[in-house]
Amino acid sequence: MTTPLDDPTRLPVHDIMCIDCKSFYASVEAIRRGIHPLAADIAVLSKGDSPGGLVLAASPNCKKRYHVGLSTRRFQLRDDMQIELAEPRMADYIRKNYGINRIYRQFTDDAHWYPYSIDESFIDVTHSHNLFGSNEEIATQIQKKVFDQFGIITTVGIGQNPLLAKLALDNEAKKAAPWQATWTYDRVPDTIWQLHDLADFWSIGSRTAKKLNAIGIHNLYDLAHTDRLLLHQRLGVLGDALYFHSWGIDYSDLTRRYLPRAENKGYGNSQVLMRDYTQAREIEVVLSEIADQVAGRLRHHQVQGEVVSVGIGYADAEEAGTSGFGAQMKIDPTNRTDDLIRAARYLFHSKWNGHAVRNVSVRVNRISQASSMQLSLFESAEKEEANVLLDQTIDKIRQLYGYKAIVRGYSKEKGATAIDRAGLVGGHHG
């Protein structure tokens, strides 16, 4: 049997590190209190005064002792749990993230540094060994510098491509000191193929896992030994990518930032609600507020979109029989608030079946540069011009005086969240 690993000359070979700040938010809060991050019992909680408040991060102790983790709700935290609850300080986390990434950049150039999230980054150190030593020596230096300057423990996955580095991080490096692990092509049978839960594999979500299960694929070994043509027939280019990933092969290049085609680039916002929303009008209000925010971003970047998508997540997936729904529609290119609100509300009502809602999102795709005003068959040119002027005026007032300086009427209705969320950093207090 020939395999994708048979010809080493065709394999991407680099020295990639995927670096994670262990329980980042919770660690920052532990250090603020003079506690070692690994000794703290701290959870960072958004909207701590609400039963529906979400845990954004938990210290390793909390995860181990109380099984508290990301997305645990406030009402699930029992009184006998000796956990200190901390309010998120997003502005401080962002500042520390910037400082930590400056350390990473000491070991490579900016072209080979890729911040993946607020607590995770990739760096390519292929050409850094003459200055800084082996992969393990570089990883150790980074860990020491970050801990000495910030008190944060970093975990490092090392691989010959970004996929291997990420898998090494998530499945080995994060689990025990010295918080380092290296995965290579020759270790694929002993590493990747030992991952039995498809949904835990980077790039495979629960929905894709179900599709793979339907064709008899239940683990990574199965995936690697499935006919590639069958995968392509069932999943298209995703099937091709997953096949190569199951062999540890990833052709991603950190120096080539992904620049999506205009039709794929999008602008969107989402929100986790602090309680179950069961009334259509309340859900409409939140959708309208999000659509207003997305429209403002489009205008700020002088672009417009022509595909509107709405995502709705149900509070109780078991009761609803589904986790929620998504819907989209094509409209005339626009960045007008009223147009996006109208589309978002239509999409919501086209599929909502009355179940309680906890997550909402609005997204606009197929982006193009904003052109002259699009005339509608259903509105006079004068009304169109007045609506455009209204949006522009609201944008200018908010730019000068902040979002709360002028709000639309629905933001005063029951269920509205925009006024309370105005001024938050990343959806949380700074």
Q: Which residues are catalytic?
A: 120
Contact status, residue 384 vs residue 282, Cβ threshold 8 Å: no
Burial class (CB within 10 angstroms; exposed 0-12, middle 13-18, buried 19+) of 215: middle
Q: How far, in Å, CA of 231 to CA of 20, rounded?
A: 32
Q: How far, in Å, CA of 310 to CA of 333, rounded?
A: 17
Residue 127, amino acid: H
Contact status, residue 295 vs residue 308, Cβ threshold 8 Å: no
- Percentages helix, strand, coil for the chain (3-state, rounded to 5) are 45, 20, 35
Total residue length of the chain? 430
- Is the backbone peptide bond immediately before 178 cis, with ω within 30 degrees of 0? yes
Reading the block at residue 384, the tokens are 């169109």
Going by the DSSP 8-state scheme, the letter that residue 142 receives in this structure is H
How many CA atoms does the CB half-sphere of 71 hold within 13 Å?
5
Contact status, residue 335 vs residue 370, Cβ threshold 8 Å: yes
First to last CA, the chain: 57
